[in-house]
Amino acid sequence: MSSPLFYVSLAIALAGLVVLFLKWRGVSQLGARLAAAAVLGSIRQLETMRAEKSPAWVRSIADAFLKTFEEKDSLRRRAEDRELFQTLLDEISHGFLIVNRDLEIQFANKVAENLFPAPGADENRQLIDVLHNHRLVDVVRDALQGQKRCSEEIQVEGTRPEDEDWCNRVFEIEASPLPNHPESGCWVMVRDITERVITEQVRKDFVANASHELRTPLTLISGYIETLEDGVIDDRETAMHSLGIMNKHSKRIVRIIEDMLTISKLESGQSPVRLEPFDVAECVTDVVENLASLIEEKNAKVEFDSARSDCSMVGDRFYWDQIFMNLIENALKQNQRPGLKVTVSFRCDGENHIFTVTDDGIGIPRADLPYVFKRFYRGAKHHSQEVKGTGLGLSIVKRAVEAHGGQIHVESTPGRATTFTLEVPVLAAEIEPAAV
């Protein structure tokens, strides 16, 4: 369908032909001036000809031209205003829609189209056909019927069922009648607050988990201290057993605090990485030795596989100890059944060092995958009481990899395998030994 500007331009062109026709019929000077003013769009010349003592037909045609130009200019300004309006609304970070009183969409910005990518989500579509959620639509309907602003937080299950990576989202929807014409419709603002809700819940979980993790060993240590004070300290065997348990749980407290300090340093940038050559195979071997008791307890097997004979690289050995320790320990703790196999592989494609840590355990639920690297996030809620920790391990891994200029991602098939892949750039110091 052609735009109104097209028809206005066509009218001007036809009017110009009329003037030229008049000139051809003998109205030479006035016809030529009128034709020139019309073709060139000279509003000042047309206004002059309309005001001066010209024949009535000249003033009439000049007036018609001026009105046509005014209408064209008005339509142009309206088109420019709409384009500016749409550009500004496309830049805001929330979904924005305008609907009429029949709940038909009159306008939707790009964010709204991305949040609700329904096929054919164009103007004049019914709101329910785009949002696919009656609770969201009810908020808009309440705003229209009550002529008031309405807002609500709503959890939507599967906003993108055609997308394999969709998960539950939380939207904050706000609707209010249009200020100048409330009877004609309302505006709708949709905010995706999923990340905020998850972050708030993660913080609450951390407080609960950290309190539990710290309180349990402190309570045990306090109890054994009281036992020793009651005279058991004279019984050497019992005293040594009590001291052993106290030592174990004090180390547990130290580990929790160290994890907190490590993630804090990585995120604040207060502790820059110290680059030095080290052997990856040796690093993994040391980590496996430190986890020997847990590996034996789980009847697990940890292997190192390298596609190159030289396993050296440049990086901060302290943080790489943390990386492999957390990845391997996480696999061991998350899998309660015995016989787990963990494989650490290392190769280089010339530009990046590529590490993979794979286990054949229970896997990670798809809904948890986008959040496993977040601070304090703990998946596997079904055995959260059995799995110890505060959910900082994978967050430390991600921050440490990023501190080396790399990236990490995870893939998991529940019941079959989970693979963490780390890609870290080969540093110039490794290519030019003199630069080390």
CATH of the domain at 214: 1.10.287.130
The rounded distance, in Å, linking the Cα atoms of 157 and 172 is 14
First to last CA, the chain: 68
The rounded distance, in Å, linking the Cα atoms of 291 and 269 is 29
Six-digit token pair at 254?
């130290």
The domain total for the chain is 4
pTM of the model: 0.52
Q: Return the pLDDT at 434.
A: 35
Classify each residue of 14-27 as buried b or exposed e, where b means 16 or more C-beta atoms within 10 Å of its C-beta: ebbeebbebbeeeb
What is the CATH number for 350? 3.30.565.10
The rounded distance, in Å, linking the Cα atoms of 262 and 268 is 10
**Are 114 and 187 found together in one domain?**
yes
The rounded distance, in Å, linking the Cα atoms of 297 and 109 is 57
The rounded distance, in Å, linking the Cα atoms of 46 and 42 is 6
Cross-sheet strand order for the sheet of 341-348: 301-306, 341-348, 352-359, 417-425, 407-413
The rounded distance, in Å, linking the Cα atoms of 173 and 137 is 9
Examine the fold and report which residue of 247, 268, 289 is the final residue of a domain before the chain moves on: 268
**Bridge-based pairing state of the strands 352-359 and 312-315:** unpaired
Examine the fold and report which residue of 192, 223, 247 is the final residue of a domain before the chain moves on: 192
Q: Return the pLDDT at 346.
A: 92
The rounded distance, in Å, linking the Cα atoms of 199 and 376 is 9
The rounded distance, in Å, linking the Cα atoms of 172 and 193 is 7
Residue pLDDT, tens place only, 325-336 = 999 998 998 888
The rounded distance, in Å, linking the Cα atoms of 244 and 232 is 14
**Are 139 and 28 found together in one domain?**
no
**Are 288 and 336 found together in one domain?**
yes
Six-digit token pair at 382?
């079904």
At a CB cut-off of 8 Å and minimum separation 6, what does 154 contact? 133, 135, 136, 139, 170, 171, 172, 173
Q: Would you tell me how many other CB atoms lie within 10 Å of the CB of residue 28?
A: 11
Residues of the chain scoring pLDDT < 70: 1-91, 117-123, 158-167, 180-183, 269-271, 376, 378-390, 428-436
**Are 79 and 104 found together in one domain?**
no
At a CB cut-off of 8 Å and minimum separation 6, what does 185 contact? 98, 99, 100, 101, 106, 144, 177, 178
Q: Return the pLDDT at 70.
A: 63
**Are 209 and 237 found together in one domain?**
yes
Examine the fold and report which residue of 243, 268, 293 is the final residue of a domain before the chain moves on: 268
Cross-sheet strand order for the sheet of 105-108: 105-108, 95-100, 185-192, 169-177, 150-156
**Are 148 and 12 found together in one domain?**
no
**Are 284 and 430 found together in one domain?**
yes
**Are 126 and 243 found together in one domain?**
no
Instruction: Using the structure block, give the residue that is written with the tokens 């028809």.
Output: 7
Q: Return the pLDDT at 342.
A: 94
**Are 293 and 362 found together in one domain?**
yes
Domain, as residue range, for 296: 276-435
What is the CATH number for 149? 3.30.450.20
Residue pLDDT, tens place only, 95-142 = 888 888 888 888 888 888 877 766 554 567 888 888 878 888 899 889
Q: Which amino acid is at 115?
A: L
**Are 427 and 304 found together in one domain?**
yes
**Are 238 and 183 found together in one domain?**
no
Q: Which amino acid is at 421?
A: T
**Are 75 and 218 found together in one domain?**
no
The rounded distance, in Å, linking the Cα atoms of 256 and 388 is 11
